[in-house]
Amino acid sequence: MSVLDKRGAGPRPPTTDRTAPDDPGTPDAKKTAAERSPSDRRGLPLLLNAVSIALGIALWWILASAGFKLPTPPEVVSRAWTLLGDGTLADDVLASLTRVLIGFALGTAAAVPVGFLMGWYGTARGLMEPWIQFFRTVPPLAIIPLAVVVMGIDETPKIFVIFLAAFLACVISTFQGVVNVDRTLIDAARVLGAKDATIFARVVVPASTPFILVGMRVGLGSAWATLVAAELIAAQEGLGYRMQNAQLYYDLPTIFVGLISIGILGLLMDRILLLAERKLTGWQERR
């Protein structure tokens, strides 16, 4: 008989169940809390987001009312409504969103295979890494004069500088994802007889996916950050162009409309990538 059996063999004094139904120590209460936690995890961040936005708008309004050179929220809403009414804002959003999406998609599509090659093959790393690091130290904005001379003033140079910003952010993250794959997993796959192609597809790619998605989110932010400067290149429409044009007339409400539009579009696209990250990396532990 084990120690636990001996302890349980003796007589036990009568006990009364004084545990409250909501006592977290009971199994039923723990189960209820576990069942309740997913909705709580979804609801609390949304509530905190709403509170944060309300506090930010309130602070903005206070600063504008205190004499700072800021338009009040009603003035910005009024200007946004005017720009929506005449179709200007819709055209600007469509033009900027098209440039960002094309540049970001091309940058990501180029960055992922280049990052895999650098991380998997030492020769490719030695050939490519100096150039990647070199261009990382050169801001994409500094490429604009060269892009204008080489590519002209149409959409090509605008998309190119956005592509470059997204590519440089994503390629490094992909490279780090391949390099950081647990060597034990690769060795175990080799012992089981897997070839390089199988190891790459079944081990390296899934393990690198979180890094790739993080790099895509960083690249998306870089693409939007580069947009305003990219639309300096003889643009006739776009959020960046509208903001720069409004600057000449000290039109602060229009500038704020552009800033808020870029922020909202960037936030929505980031949330889409975050949702994709959760779907593709459901196996990963999260806090």
In the block, residue with structure tokens 């009971």: 26
Rounded CA separation 61/56 (Å):
9
One digit per residue, the tens of pLDDT, for the chain of length 287 reads 433 344 444 444 444 444 444 445 444 444 444 454 555 566 777 888 889 889 989 998 898 888 788 888 899 999 999 999 888 899 999 999 999 999 999 999 999 999 988 888 888 888 998 898 888 888 877 888 888 888 887 888 889 999 999 999 899 888 888 888 878 888 888 888 878 788 888 888 888 888 888 889 999 988 988 888 888 777 788 888 888 888 888 889 999 999 999 999 999 998 898 888 888 776 655 55
For the chain, which domains are there?
74-280 (1.10.3720.10)
In the block, residue with structure tokens 């897997």: 194
Residue 112 burial (C-beta neighbours within 10 Å; 0-12, 13-18, 19+): buried
Token digits of residue 273? 């990538």
Model confidence, pTM: 0.76
